[in-house]
Amino acid sequence: MYIREWGGKAKLTDRKIKERIHPLQSKLDQRGPCTPEMAALLTCWATSSVDSPSCAQTVQALTECMRKAPKSSKHTNTINYHLARLGKFL
């Protein structure tokens, strides 16, 4: 399964195991619950000034969404850390 090379490093040669090991998708791909409201607010600010009274309704909608948004747990998965740490052996 492991073959020693001249540098002394071990390399994984079993292709089946190598194909099964892959990092999870990054957390940046996940969208928040208030993404449409935030996009609407940024669009409103881009078309008019930040202090414009016409954007008050979108500000209120974003505020209400942020209040009602579910609180996420702080469980962090460590699979990406371990794959990055052990990736030099693959």
Distance CA 52, CA 44 (A): 9
Output the six-digit token pair for 77: 């998965």
Distance CA 60, CA 57 (A): 5
pLDDT-derived band at 28 (thresholds 50, 70, 90) equals low
CB 84 within 8 A of CB 47: no
pLDDT at 29: 55
pTM: 0.48
pLDDT (tens digit per residue) in 36-52: 999 999 999 999 988 88
pLDDT-derived band at 1 (thresholds 50, 70, 90) equals very low
* Other Cβ atoms within 10 Å of 40 Cβ, number: 16
Say if residue 25's pLDDT is above 70. no
Distance CA 2, CA 17 (A): 12
Q: Which stretches does DSSP call E strand in the chain?
A: 2-4, 10-12
